[in-house]
């Protein structure tokens, strides 16, 4: 059983989902970042053998969130695909099946650095490409965290694939994906099932929620006034 957590950031009521999405109930909208669909097809295109199934698994995860939250809109915060070679016949079939499963779902895409070279997406997918910027009620959306509009109160974005290490006196875990609240930005973990991550070092003023074993947990912040990534 998965366990989400509801948070309030600058008076925005958001729900952090253990499947690595953010649900905004006020606008019936689900946000995800860095799906990197078709990445396994790209690796195979370059003769690198990798397991199949990451795209199907990512789409199943999104379906679970849509069905549980009953979201009417899905916003993908960039890097929906990994490369032009990701748009294989199988990826097309999987996206078409996802669309047929959610015919009433409004899907919007903010282009990420991996998406921009792809050109026009198939019309049958009914995906609206929208610019980064204000989404609603002063909340902005984008892909890269550095491109926050000056008028935005809060920005949802991706790109960094943030993660943290949990350590104790006797043990150290592998990196855990996390939601990272940093300088007016809530940076989402990568939802793609075949993606890497970047270890962050939160500052004193940051907030972090880790995703572990189907649960979202507040991360005890012991950060300093300065921050960097490792």
Cα–Cα distance list, 198 to 35, 132, 164, 176, 178 (Å): 16, 23, 8, 10, 10
Q: Tell me the per-residue pLDDT of 59-91, one tens digit each, with 9 for 90 and over.
A: 999 999 999 999 999 999 999 886 666 677 888
Could you tell me the two tokens for 174? 């592998």
Decide: 225 and 204 in contact? Cβ < 8 Å: yes
- The CATH number that applies at residue 76 is 3.60.21
Q: What is the pTM of this model?
A: 0.89
Count up the domains in the chain and report the number.
Answer: 1
139 DSSP β-pair partners: 136, 154
Task: Find the mean pLDDT for residues 3-7.
Answer: 93
Three-state SS at 51: coil
Residue 40 scores a pLDDT above 70: no
CA angle 158, 146, 140 (to 5 degrees): 65
Residue 118: domain span: 5-229
pLDDT value of residue 39: 62
């Amino acid at each position: 059983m998965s366990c989400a957590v509801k948070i309030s950031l600058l008076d925005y009521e958001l729900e952090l989902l253990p499947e690595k999405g953010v649900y905004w109930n006020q606008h019936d909208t689900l946000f995800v970042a860095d799906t990197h669909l078709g990445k396994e097809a790209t690796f195979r295109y370059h003769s690198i053998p990798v397991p199949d199934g990451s795209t199907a698994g990512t789409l199943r995860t999104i379906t679970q969130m849509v069905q549980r939250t009953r979201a009417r809109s899905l916003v993908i915060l960039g890097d929906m695909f990994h490369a032009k070679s990701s748009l294989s016949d199988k990826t097309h079939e999987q996206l078409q099946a996802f669309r047929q499963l959610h015919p009433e779902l409004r899907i919007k895409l903010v282009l990420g650095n991996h998406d921009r070279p792809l050109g026009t997406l198939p019309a049958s997918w009914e995906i609206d490409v929208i610019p980064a910027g204000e989404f609603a009620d002063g909340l902005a959306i984008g892909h890269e965290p550095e491109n926050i509009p000056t008028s935005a109160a809060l920005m949802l974005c991706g790109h960094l694939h943030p993660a943290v290490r949990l350590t104790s006196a006797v043990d150290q875990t592998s990196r855990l994906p996390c939601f990272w609240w940093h300088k007016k930005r809530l940076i989402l973990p990568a939802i793609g099932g075949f993606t890497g991550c970047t270890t962050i070092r939160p500052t004193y003023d940051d907030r972090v929620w880790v995703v572990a074993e189907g649960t979202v947990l507040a991360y005890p912040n012991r950060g300093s006034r300065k921050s960097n990534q490792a």
